[in-house]
Copies of this chain bind each other. A is one copy, B any other.
């Protein structure tokens, strides 16, 4: 990590924020509230960590305007409208990604017909198949695998154990965390009762990740049966997420860990799926829709809506129903009490006023 020092005032200007305290403070790096020292910048964003803020030894803390009054003793504040974004940019400023080291490790295997840009870095025990292309400044970390005729754009990063299967395509600045899989066969079988057997339907399409996509560790994107499975530009996919064949994600989606999207479902732009969300196949999820953790989506979600629950519906309705769920034993008891009281009333009324003269179409 580089440790160039920078003026706090300059850092504030860099992110469009302002300083409360000493703009001349020299900052050498970023650290957590707990670990930061007087030459480091920390970050406060969640009221749960107020005690850590009060105790911090950080020279400066990035905060939202609403937290301006909470300045800890001895620390300056860098106030930013979007403190997490500001902090992310400052953190990247102090910890720039390592530049690729052009060349190939002698243990890497690059097949004769592969085209590897001379500025790319091919790590130890990595593999580049026949006809595959690796773009400028892309890095294959040790043990990553690019199968035949796959295309990797510029400035991509494949961590150890990442796999891109044949003919799949990565745009520029795509990042695959360790064990991420691109282009596995979709789960397509047709049942033949005469076998009986599940007959495999060829998964002859590809998977394509557009520019600036990131896949988490052991995230899986299946290739299409025909055509393409697509993860749209700027979309970020967390660890252990499943994206099935022929799914299409728009731009700037966020899929949190262990979510799964079944075959042929389409997500618009800016869709957010919480952790462990499941979405069944052949659905359409509109732009900017949000789905709460563990929800099970079984219907199209209109653009801009927030859904939760399994099966999922509107988040506000889910809040009410899931609160009422915990009152179910009480509801049952109250229902029994009502039945008792009503029966008593009926008995009393029957004694006072025998019902034989009473026509009641409902009692039939």
Instruction: Report which A residues bind B (CB closer than 8 A).
Output: 1, 30-32, 34-35, 43, 46, 48, 82, 84-85, 87-89, 91-92, 95, 97, 105, 107, 109, 111, 124-125, 127, 129, 141-143, 145, 147, 159-161, 163, 165, 175, 177-179, 181, 184-185, 187-192, 195-202, 204, 212, 214, 216-218, 220, 222, 225-227, 234, 236, 238-240, 242, 244, 252, 254, 256-258, 260, 262, 270, 275-276, 278, 280, 282, 293-294, 296, 298, 309-311, 313, 317, 320-322, 324-329, 331-332, 334-335, 338-349, 352-353, 355, 358, 360, 362-363
A35 touches B344 (CB 8 A): no
Q: Is the CB of A282 within 8 A of B48?
A: yes
Separation in Å of the A288 CB from the closest CB of chain B? Answer: 11
Instruction: Tell me which residues across on chain B come within 8 A of A220, comparing CB atoms.
Output: 179, 216-218, 239-240, 257
A19 to B266, CA, bound (A): 32
Residues of B close to A127: CB separation below 8 A: 124-125, 142-143, 160
Shortest Cβ-Cβ A-B pairs, 3 listed: A324-B328, A88-B201, A85-B190
B334 and A329 contact, CB distance less than 8 A: no
User: A178's contact among B35, B181, B240, B362, by CB below 8 Å, is which?
Assistant: B181
Chain B residue at minimal CB-CB distance from A282: B48
| Alpha-carbon gap, A217 to B182, bound state (A) | 9
A236's contact among B198, B327, B352, by CB below 8 Å, is which? B198
Least distance between A297 CB and chain B CB atoms (Å): 10
Question: How far, in whole Å, are A349 and B348 apart by their CA atoms in the complex?
Answer: 9
Closest-CB distance, A93 to chain B (whole angstroms): 9
CA distance A196 to B185 in the complex (A): 32
A85: chain B residues within 8 A (beta carbon) = 190-192, 199
